[in-house]
């Protein structure tokens, strides 16, 4: 291993890549250390049957201020700026217009109520009655936003994201994961190298990996919170505050399943369905994204946890049944699984994206605080307003790199 490293960045997801690019452009000798054999982490595009599918991030949220949108543009990537179909139910199937309005209003009321009179518990779910007619719908929305239902989520954290996010969401037909992996191309990366221990007590930082020891002047840790919290990496001296912060910012569950359509013309492109708006245990189905002959099934929170326990066959059956109920048995018979994710089971990821536990939104700033000039953290969970996103991860990586540059 090259020992002449100034900054080792552990984790080649969006945050690690951003940090490494900033430092590399500043003339620093950097090395990205990545356990997997690819760059991108939770940004991962795959090619299946001639289609590019994003298994992780797909949307350039808050697109007008998203640095990855600017980088995509600079790289000449095609950007789809058409509005998302999420809020419309195809042909109002199983969800009439009055109910769609009522459900949306319930979400607006929840947010306004949390603003106006924040619950002392900081439990987002305390902002709406348990027997509210749209409680299931609201937990389903929280499952998509946070990977967890409202009772598991900090109200303060939820509002911090919501106040800063815009309604502008763009996509990359060539893949968000493709873009992020391409942004790593000029960087030195040790792939398939898993870090198990870090000693930051000496003049240089010693990084133990399954491929041997690496020494560096400084380290940026750009790892998912669940990996930190469960102790995959042993730190000397210990890092009680940072590891506690990571445990208070767990990754929720969100998974995708792509189904191919035997007869794509049976449904219009760029449309959307919620399986059953009266329960949290339902899927969200994006039909024919970019006009492609697939459905992107999206499961967040309680339904993602349940389907993970039940397994792949049960998940396919669930999606096909929900779609069949709305679109008919003939349509359901024409659906075939293409690929799906189990992010929680990925050994070096551990879940989808972070949410703060009630009372713990302040832990994001603690996690983002440099331990010393030699040890800093990055990753989506470090972002106070854009957490859970690829651009939040990216910005956290740039911020960690800037801290190192300014301190030298």
Ligand X SMILES: Cc1cc2nc3c(=O)[nH]c(=O)nc-3n(C[C@H](O)[C@H](O)[C@H](O)COP(=O)(O)OP(=O)(O)OC[C@H]3O[C@@H](n4cnc5c(N)ncnc54)[C@H](O)[C@@H]3O)c2cc1C
The verdict on whether omega for the bond into residue 211 sits within 30 degrees of 0, i.e. cis, is: no
Minimum CB separation of residue 407 from ligand X in Å reads: 22
Whole-angstrom CA distances from 90 to 95, 137, 207 are 9, 17, 52
Does residue 43 belong to the site contacting ligand X (CB under 6 A)?
yes
Q: Which residues of 106-127 are buried (b: 16+ CB within 10 A; e: fewer)?
A: bbeebbeebeeeeeeebbbbbb
Does residue 35 belong to the site contacting ligand X (CB under 6 A)?
yes
Minimum CB separation of residue 249 from ligand X in Å reads: 11
* Contact yes or no for 259/294 (Cβ under 8 A): yes
The window from 12-20, 86-94, 268-276, 319-327 that contacts ligand X (CB under 6 A) reads 12-20
190-209: contacts with ligand X (CB under 6 A) = 194-195
Bridge partners for 255 per DSSP: 299
Cβ nearer to ligand X, comparing 135 with 355: 355
Does residue 10 belong to the site contacting ligand X (CB under 6 A)?
yes
DSSP one-letter code for 203: S
The window from 106-114, 224-232, 239-247, 265-273 that contacts ligand X (CB under 6 A) reads 224-232
**How crowded is residue 297: how many other Cβ atoms within 10 Å of its Cβ?**
27
Minimum CB separation of residue 102 from ligand X in Å reads: 27
DSSP one-letter code for 55: S
Structure tokens at 91: 């042909």
285-324: contacts with ligand X (CB under 6 A) = none
Does residue 16 belong to the site contacting ligand X (CB under 6 A)?
yes
Residue 202: burial class (beta carbons within 10 Å; 0-12, 13-18, 19+): exposed
3-state secondary structure of 116: helix
The window from 54-62, 94-102, 130-138, 268-276 that contacts ligand X (CB under 6 A) reads 54-62
Radius of gyration of the chain (CA): 21
**């195809």: which residue's tokens?**
90
Does residue 94 belong to the site contacting ligand X (CB under 6 A)?
no
Minimum CB separation of residue 110 from ligand X in Å reads: 22
Among 232, 296, 308, 360, binds ligand X (CB under 6 A): 232
Instruction: List contacts with ligand X (CB under 6 A).
Output: 10-16, 33-36, 41-43, 56-59, 61, 194-195, 222-224, 227, 232-233, 254, 256, 343, 348-349, 352-353, 379-380, 388-391, 393
């Amino acid at each position: 291993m090259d020992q002449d490293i100034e900054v080792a960045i552990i984790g080649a997801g969006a945050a690690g890549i951003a940090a490494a690019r900033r430092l590399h452009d500043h003339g620093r000798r950097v090395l990205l250390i990545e356990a997997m054999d690819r760059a991108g982490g939770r940004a991962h595009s795959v090619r299946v049957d001639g289609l590019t599918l994003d298994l992780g991030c797909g949307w350039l949220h808050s697109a007008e201020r998203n640095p990855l949108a600017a980088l995509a543009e600079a790289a000449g990537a095609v950007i789809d700026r058409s509005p998302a179909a999420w809020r419309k139910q195809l042909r109002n199937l199983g969800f009439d217009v009055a109910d769609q309005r009522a459900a949306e209003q319930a979400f607006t009321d929840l947010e306004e109520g949390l603003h106006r009179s924040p619950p002392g518990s900081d439990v987002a779910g305390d902002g709406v009655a348990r027997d509210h007619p749209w409680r299931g719908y609201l937990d389903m929305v929280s499952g998509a936003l946070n990977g967890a239902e409202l009772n598991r989520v900090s109200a303060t954290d939820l509002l911090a994201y919501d106040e800063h996010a815009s309604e502008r969401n763009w996509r990359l037909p060539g893949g968000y994961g493709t873009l992020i992996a391409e942004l790593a191309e000029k960087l030195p990366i040790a792939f398939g190298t898993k870090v198990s221990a870090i000693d930051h007590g000496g003049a240089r930082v010693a990084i133990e990996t399954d491929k041997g020891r690496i020494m560096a002047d400084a380290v940026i840790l750009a790892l998912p919170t669940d990996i930190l919290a469960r102790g995959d990496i042993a730190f000397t001296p210990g890092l009680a505050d940072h590891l506690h912060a990571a445990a208070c910012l767990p990754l929720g569950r969100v998974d995708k399943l792509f189904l191919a359509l035997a007869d794509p013309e049976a449904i219009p492109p760029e449309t959307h369905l919620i399986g059953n708006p009266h329960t949290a245990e339902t899927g969200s189905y994006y039909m024919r994204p970019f006009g492609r002959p697939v459905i992107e099934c999206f499961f967040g929170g309680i339904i993602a946890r349940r389907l993970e326990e039940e397994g792949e066959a049960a998940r396919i059956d669930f999606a096909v049944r929900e779609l069949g109920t709305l679109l008919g048995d003939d349509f359901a018979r024409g659906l075939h699984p293409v690929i799906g994710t189990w992010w929680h089971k990925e050994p070096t990821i551990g879940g989808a994206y972070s949410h703060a536990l009630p009372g713990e939104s302040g832990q994001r700033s603690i996690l983002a605080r440099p331990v010393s000039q030699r040890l800093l953290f990055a990753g989506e969970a470090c972002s106070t307003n854009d957490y859970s996103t690829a651009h939040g991860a990216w910005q956290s990586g740039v911020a960690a790199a800037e801290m190192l540059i300014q301190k030298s």
